[in-house]
Chain A
Amino acid sequence: MSKATLDAPAELRYVQYHSSKERTYLSAIRQLISDDLSEPYSIYVYRYFLYQWGDLCFMALDEDESLIGVVISKLEPHRGGPMRGYIAMLAVREGYRGKGIATQLVRKTLDVMIERDADEIALETEVTNTAAMKLYERLGFLRSKRLHRYYLNGNSAFRFMLLIKEKSAAYEYEDEAQPQLPIRPPST
């Protein structure tokens, strides 16, 4: 798709998570994600996603099997309405960024969500995170809302949406009153 993708290091492997991999990778996943965060998630948050939607989590591993990037997502009916996929965390190790690794990870998780009959996919990014916004926009996401001071650090977010199927009239406005999920942004 993008030029960056073509430059991705050939030796990376993209591996779907499974609970059998917890002992090998969970602490590396936590480390990689919390490096970017001003305030950490408890272990419970990781287990919340990985236990329920491990198949939506993908890891980019180098030839030494060390973790270069990870995406963590969920998929469930949104307020009794559409089946909504949600990309919760995405991180690529510094020094490996700008090579299309994040795009590959997002595409892997999107493909599984679509295969599992997602109606729509949502996520948030910090309004200043232009690299992430470009990534999602190139894939077909649209900004649907600006969430005022969404993050704990006081920064605002954009909600990005991707419709996979035409919305049925019944739940057109379901997400209007959605409480904010305090998924935290990178600290920088």
Chain B
Amino acid sequence: MNFEVVKAIAQLRKPGDLMADFSKLSSAPDHHDVRQQHHSPLPPQSKSKRIVTQNVTSEFFAAASALNTGQLVKDEYFTLFEAVGALEIMDPKMDSGFLTSGESVEHDYDVLRELLPEEVLGIMDQMLCFEMTWHMGHPLSQSLFTSAYIDQLLWPDPKTLEQARFERDKTSGPGNKLLHLVLRAYCLGLVKTCDFVRRRIMSEHYYEEEDFVVSLYHRKLLDDFELSDISTKIEDAMAFVTKEIESMDRPFRDALLNRLQLRKTLLSAVQSDGFLDRQRARLWERCLELLPMLSQTNKLGVPIENSFGIKIQRKLASSVPPRPIVRISFDEALSRLSGICQNGRDAYRILDSQAGTRLMTFVLTYQSRIPQPSIYIRCLLQSLVFSEMRVLGTISLKQLLFDDFEELVLPADILVDPANGDIEAPQDPRFQISKRMDAFVTKAADAEGIDTELRKYTKEEPIRELSAPNEEIWSFPLSSWAYYYKLRQMEWIVQMGFELDIYQVDELAGMYWYLDWKPLHRPCVRAEVAIYRYLQHLASTRLQHIERIRTFSAHRLKRIANPTLKQKTSFRRSFSFLDFATLEASATQSFAEGLSCLFSFLAHLGLIPAPYHPLPYGTPALRYSLRVQPFLSVSLPEVPSYPEFASRVSLHTLERDAGDPSHQTASTKIETNDQAVAILDFADQALKAARKDWEAISKTKAETARCVGCEDWWRASVKNIVRACITANIMIATSKKAMSKAASQDAREILKVEVVKSNELYHAWWMVPRILPK
């Protein structure tokens, strides 16, 4: 093995030289594979005068012989990450330049051969499949860039659109118009579409590498060229196909026109300029209309498998080993594309949502639909929500926040009066208010401090309770607003844990507890188990907080002698929000409590493992600590300590290892287990209340539920929660019936429990177990 290259690189002076030299290595045909020169007695001479090459093979082996077998040479900054990235030269799975004997470096395919209409159709549909695998998160190097046609168009980098063609040496070579006019136009449209898609995604938040690979391997996606010029090429191609009555049968012409039309429309739908225009929804709709014909005519095409090849990866600037081409079926590609078009169209409905609370409902509902909208669509939605410092293209961030403050905590309040910003006299309280509100909006810091300062300008009257007339209770509007959203986010974090299948069965009762925690009442709740309890705690805290907000708003309304119509409207809107939030928090709390009790009941009878039961390693307290870790830095609401938690979920009555089915104890006998029956009764009550609440939510008007613009999806989601509630009620009935029939038996002989995975549930946040009589 030769090591000239190693030495040559070592002699480069600046890191920039290294890059420059590598690009030469990959572009100059005679340097394609340095390992081809194994047996050359002379080292290759670089054209650069600054580089002197020298054969260091013998020096290398001499140096290596000083090491023991297995000995590792590395510095302390060389981490596992780097180690895993290391490649082994001459291993075909890792070495992209490795050739078996007689194998050629170049991909062997003639891009200039004449094409038949069916072949053009076949290639177009293959390309569509690869375009979709790229949308699914696979790199271009394993999808579109494996096409010999795309490679020929994009490399060497075309300086003009005219250069982006299949015969790169300018002289018109062989090939026919189907190739040079039709397939080329299709490819140009495709590549430019990818350019817009990639730019949209890169301008937003996404998981690079996991959700989407932006890498272009030193290629460009025609980003210097105008959409209109490329559209013209597609139109020219369409005009050509339309006229080819003699040489092509009607079905082929129609199928080609369909694909060219789709390319043209898709290109306009994804283009960056004017993306906030509602008319874009119409373009997506037109793409959708073209799909049935695309699907029907796919069978006319003849795929050209060898026009795609893994060897093309070698020409791409990349440090990763060769990776297999990722293929999907045409039907799958079509269903992906159809999803993108539908979601693209539907995304524009967000422009109807306007106010903050509605916008929130839209984003949550839209993004959580199943199947999940593709990464491009999710980024498009982000851009619609916020771009160029505007929300939905028209609203400033300050307007959005002020509107939300008004709806939640400050109806018709001077703090959110937009006229404050016009006051220039510092002695005017409104000037002071405006200054502080701006500070809160831009920094979102120290809400309590700003609330306290604002009091003297708003002349707030505190509430005094009859029982303690000397105690002043202040509204703290900005802190209240922030706390509301904090609680909301904590609930979402806990609930997403269900969606992601993070929790183990024995934790479930407790996590729901966190959503609805009612301290120090109901002795039976002591016997509860771990996650639904947690959820219950959070929802309950939110309910109390909404009540506090309502008290202050009502107090302020009472003090307005003759409220104007505008004031009345503002208060009405706020109370309507608080009423709905109360219903929703109460529904969450009841459902969490019900499931918590149900899991607790199951654990009590040994049907599922007891919460945080002893295991060979770690302790229950340490596992609890690990689970609540994300919340430990949150001072309010405080995370219950383990002893407090344990006393509530009563781990101590269940010291046996319930994970061991051979273990029988008295507590699994139903007759000795009145406590289990009592817990089941609590579950029953809570779940009945939950069903009532969720049914009420499902009947709420769109305006009240703040789901304008996404009403259909929102209702579908609520309906699924109602179904989950009903299922839970049925599970309770099954348990009761089985237990009353066989009172003296071991519960494990009459009932069995199946914990359902999140994707098989009616709603991923509500993990209703399947309880079956044996």
Q: Could you list which residues of chain A lie within 8 angstroms of chain B, going by C-beta atoms?
A: 1, 19, 22-23, 26, 39-45, 47-48, 50-52, 74, 88, 107, 110, 114, 127, 137-146, 148-150, 152, 154, 158, 161-167, 169, 172-173, 179, 181-183
Contact = CB atoms under 8 A, between A and B. Distances in A.
B207 interface: yes
Given A48-B80, A161-B626, 17 more contacts: A19-B68, A40-B91, A41-B84, A42-B91, A42-B94, A44-B86, A45-B86, A50-B70, A88-B80, A139-B615, A140-B616, A142-B626, A145-B502, A163-B618, A163-B622, A169-B632, A181-B81
8 contacts: A23-B69, A138-B616, A142-B623, A142-B627, A144-B502, A163-B623, A166-B625, A173-B633
Nearest to B504: A137
Contact of A167 (B137, B209, B625): B625
Contacts, number: 117
B339 interface: no
A150 B504 CA distance: 21
Contacts of B618: 140-141, 162-164
A164 to B, nearest CB: 7
Most chain A beta carbons < 10 A, residue from B70, B504, B623? B70
B87 interface: yes
Centre residue among B87, B94, B629 by max chain A CB count within 10 A: B629
B659 interface: yes
Contacts of A114: 617
B139 to A, nearest CB: 11
Interface string B498-526: 00111110010000000000000000000
Contact of B137 (A45, A154, A166, A173): A154
Contacts of A127: 501
Contacts of B69: 22-23
A172 B630 CA distance: 9
Contacts of A166: 621-622, 625
A52 B86 CA distance: 17
Contact of A149 (B137, B623, B625): B137
Given A42-B94, A143-B503, A167-B629, A138 B615 contact: yes
B137 A40 contact: no
Interface residues of chain B: helix, strand, loop or mixed (majority):
loop
Contacts of B632: 169, 172
Interface of B: 68-72, 74, 80-81, 83-88, 91, 93-94, 137-138, 207, 209-211, 321, 323, 500-504, 507, 615-618, 621-623, 625-627, 629, 632-633, 659
Contacts of B210: 148-150
Contacts of A158: 501-502
Contacts of B625: 163, 166-167
A176 B93 CA distance: 33
B629 A74 contact: no
A158 B542 CA distance: 31
Contact of A48 (B72, B502, B615, B659): B72
A78 to B, nearest CB: 11
Contacts of B617: 110, 114, 139-141, 162, 164
A168 B617 CA distance: 19
Contacts of B93: 39-40
Contacts of A23: 69
B616 A47 contact: no
A51 B69 CA distance: 10
Contacts of A44: 83, 86, 88
A51 to B, nearest CB: 4
A179 B501 contact: no
A32 B94 CA distance: 18
Contact of B629 (A110, A152, A154, A172): A172
A37 to B, nearest CB: 10
Max count, chain B CB within 10 A of own CB: residue among A44, A158, A164? A44
A19 B616 contact: no
A149 B503 CA distance: 19
B70 A107 contact: no
A173 B71 CA distance: 35
Contacts of B507: 142
A146 B493 CA distance: 13
B211 A149 contact: yes
A38 B625 CA distance: 36
Contacts of B70: 19, 22, 26, 47, 50-51
A148 B207 CA distance: 9
Given A47-B70, A51-B72, A42 B80 contact: no
Contacts of B323: 152
Contacts of B629: 144, 167, 172
Contact of A146 (B87, B502, B633): B502
A141 B502 CA distance: 12
Q: Which of A47, A74, A152, A173: most chain B Cβ within 10 A?
A: A47
Contacts of A26: 70
A170 B93 CA distance: 43
Given A45-B84, A162-B618, A144 B626 contact: yes
Contact of B84 (A1, A161, A165, A181): A181
A65 B81 CA distance: 33
B732 to A, nearest CB: 28
A146 B759 CA distance: 15
A152 B324 CA distance: 11
A107 B615 CA distance: 12
B701 to A, nearest CB: 36
